[in-house]
Amino acid sequence: MRAKRISTGAAMAVGALAAASLAFAPSALAVTPQSATITADCGSFGGGEATLTATQDGTAATITVTSSAITAPIALSQDSISSTLTMVKASGGTTAFTGTKNPAMAAGDPVTVGPLSGTVASGDSLEAYGGSLQMTVFGITITCTAAGAQSPGPFVFD
């Protein structure tokens, strides 16, 4: 009988430890909204609606920019566009997302850059309006700006 009590007690202790470890496990971090749209103006290179898609893993975050309204002027190989997306912080200042990630694109294909990597803090609220996207292709820099606030609103990071 005593052995049964010890094993039952041990099982209860293990169960309690498992429950406690779940209670103290870090929660998954999420950015909201996960995607937003802007109207981009890229000067003589065109413009139109673009979608920004954000992800977060702790303080590391990524944003991918896609637009069927903005097209590749020439064929571009994979990872050939050097990009910097500068977002405006609601608390002041800016946060930059950088990288050389892009799929291969034929002339006339919709433009996609990213995921571009950046660092965020819990509570950061980032908006494209007032910032810019700079893409450098074959030494030519294309700068795009948002014509207004992103919809449905700024990215807020947990």
Reported as a single tens digit per residue, the pLDDT across 93-138 is 999 999 999 999 999 999 999 999 999 999 999 999 999 999 999 9
User: What does the pLDDT read at residue 137?
Assistant: 92
SS3 sequence, the chain?
A: CHHHHHHHHHHHHHHHHHHHHHHHCCCCCCEECCEEEEEEECHHHCEEEEEEEEEEECCEEEEEEEEEEEECCCCECCCCCEEEEEEEECCCCEEEEEECCCCCECCCCEEEEEEEEEECCCCCEEEEEEEEEEEEECCEEEEEEECCCCECCCEEEC
Q: What own/partner pairs with CB < 8 Å and gap ≥ 24 does 52-58 have?
A: 52/85, 52/128, 52/150, 52/155, 53/114, 54/155, 55/31, 55/115, 56/29, 56/30, 56/31, 56/120, 56/157, 56/158, 57/29, 58/29
Average pLDDT over residues 78-92: 97
Please provide the average confidence, as pLDDT, over all residues in the chain.
85
**Band (29; pLDDT cuts 50, 70, 90):** low
Q: What percentage of the chain carries pLDDT values higher than 70? A: 82
Determine which of 9-18, 42-51, 63-72, 80-89 has the lowest per-residue pLDDT on average: 9-18
User: What does the pLDDT read at residue 44?
Assistant: 86
Average pLDDT over residues 40-68: 95
Average pLDDT over residues 83-102: 97
Average pLDDT over residues 65-74: 90
